[in-house]
Amino acid sequence: MIDLTTMQYLLCAGAGCVVGFSLGLVGGGGSILYVPLMIYLVGVSNPHVAIGTSALAVAVNAAVSLLNHARSGHVKWHCANVFAAAGVGGALLGSTLGTSCLRD
């Protein structure tokens, strides 16, 4: 576990607000912003921790937004399921290739 100072937690909360605002404004791109903010602003030295943290933060933000849009009837579920399945497949392929490239 990584121990962060109080200032780092405050910076992390500020970074989360910036990422949440950008997600709400344009609907995507949270991880591309969050990882550099975690590394360079907050001071998380391990990029794997920053990537995992950003994935969790963006997933929670997306889940909350999904609930709001689903209640309003703004979700095309068939399209969303196809897109999600393709994304999971792409993520699996990308992570497998990335892991094999790191071993070489």
Residue 4: C-alpha distances to residues 13, 43, 58 (Å)? 12, 9, 20
- Yes or no: say if 30 and 71 are a contact pair by the CB < 8 Å rule: no
H-state helical runs in 27-74: 30-36, 47-71
Residues 54 and 79: their CA atoms lie apart, in Å, by 25
Residue 63's pLDDT band (boundaries 50, 70, 90)?
Answer: confident
pTM of the model: 0.66
For 26-40, how does the pLDDT look when each residue is reduced to its tens digit (9 = 90+)? Answer: 777 777 888 888 899
